[in-house]
Amino acid sequence: MSKLDLLLQQAADAIRLARRVVALTGAGISVESGIPAFRGTQGLWEKYDPMEYAHIDALRAHPEKVWRMLLELHTLVRDARPNPAHLSLARMEKKGYLRAIITQNIDHLHQDAGSSFVIEFHGTGHRLACMSCGERYPSQEMEVEEIPPRCPCGGILKPDVVFFGEPIPWRALIQAQEESKHCDVMLVVGTSAVVAPACDMPYLAKERGARILEINPEETPLTHTITDLFLQGSAGDILPRLVDLL
Ligand code: NAD
Ligand code: ZN
């Protein structure tokens, strides 16, 4: 038995014995669906530095420029389909082994895969929000005739996602903290665990005694600090194997 097979067995045992399992997912889980993560400089983010383009001050100061990037991202997300990692988490929920997913992603792929309890920590690309009056609109119906798109009130529309420099939607923050405090296993998948406060969730869980299972091809700041089992590899490979063992 390889080292990874042994770790997969141990992870499956931990999940089977747990009362409450919660997953925290990041951009890495959607890489195999064709949406590049911020870190790892792939595709879109080679052209647009996320630290520059994903900051709310950039959108306010240069809405046309930032909206050109947002339209490219919108096209990628619109055409993306759930991959075996999203489908495995949905299967895990149906089998009764996963209570909730806290996701930093805005791509809706967990819901598309069939997961029903998804906390969208950074909002959703499925809606647009007016920066003046706060009205929200479904983004699928978006026909961008002018850049930036505008609300009937004249305000500039933004995707209803959390940009750098913006607060986390309070309901999602409270729900995520509650789920983190009350789980006894947290499955951390495809996140670099450096974007706060999302990266605080595994620490909240660990403080209350949860075991941390991490899936990532690369080590993160969690790996040698609070991670109990590090399953090194891509989410689309590891998660189906893990769920098959349950
Ligand atoms: P990140 O870009 O900082 O890190 C991605 C992580 O995924 C890295 O640790 C990388 O090693 C890992 N990874 C790469 N390929 C993987 C694979 N096949 N399987 C598993 N892991 C893989 O992502 P983050 O921690 O989520 O933080 C970036 C922020 O950007 C998030 O807050 C998110 O809102 C946003 N974002 C979202 C999307 C999306 O919705 N799909 C895409 C890009 C960025
Ligand atoms: Zn408006």
Percentage of the chain modeled with pLDDT above 90: 87
Structural domains in the chain? Answer: 1-35+81-122+168-246 (3.40.50.1220), 36-79+123-161 (3.30.1600.10)
Alpha helices in the chain (DSSP H): 3-17, 44-47, 50-53, 56-61, 63-79, 84-94, 109-113, 170-182, 201-207, 235-244
Does 46 score more than 90 pLDDT?
A: no
Ligand 1 centroid distance, CA of 39 (Å): 7
118-155 pLDDT, tens digit each: 999 999 999 999 999 999 999 876 677 789 999 999 99
149-191 pLDDT, tens digit each: 999 999 999 999 999 999 999 999 999 999 999 999 999 999 9
Which bound ligand lies closest to the C-alpha atom of 106?
1
Q: What is the DSSP letter of 153?
A: T
Atom 18 of ligand 1: nearest residue by CA position: 234
Atom of ligand 1 nearest to the CA of 194: 25
Give this prediction's pTM.
Answer: 0.96
Atom of ligand 1 nearest to the CA of 85: 19
Percentage of the chain modeled with pLDDT above 70: 98
Ligand 2 centroid distance, CA of 78 (Å): 24
Give the pLDDT confidence score for residue 47 in this predicted structure: 83
Atom 22 of ligand 1: nearest residue by CA position: 28
Q: What residue ranges line ligand 1, CB within 6 angstroms? A: 26-32, 35, 37-40, 104-107, 122, 190-192, 195, 216-218, 220, 234-236
How far is residue 186's CA from residue 122's CA, in Å, rounded to a whole number?
Answer: 19
Mean pLDDT of all residues in the chain? Answer: 95
- Tell me the pLDDT band of 40, cut-offs 50, 70 and 90: low
Active site members? 122
Which bound ligand lies closest to the C-alpha atom of 155?
2
Tracing tokens 């490219």 back to the chain, one arrives at 72
* Whole-number Cα distances in Å, 174 to 23, 25, 177: 16, 17, 5
68-84 pLDDT, tens digit each: 999 999 989 999 999 99
Ligand 1 centroid distance, CA of 77 (Å): 14
The values of phi and psi at residue 146, to 5°, are -130, 155
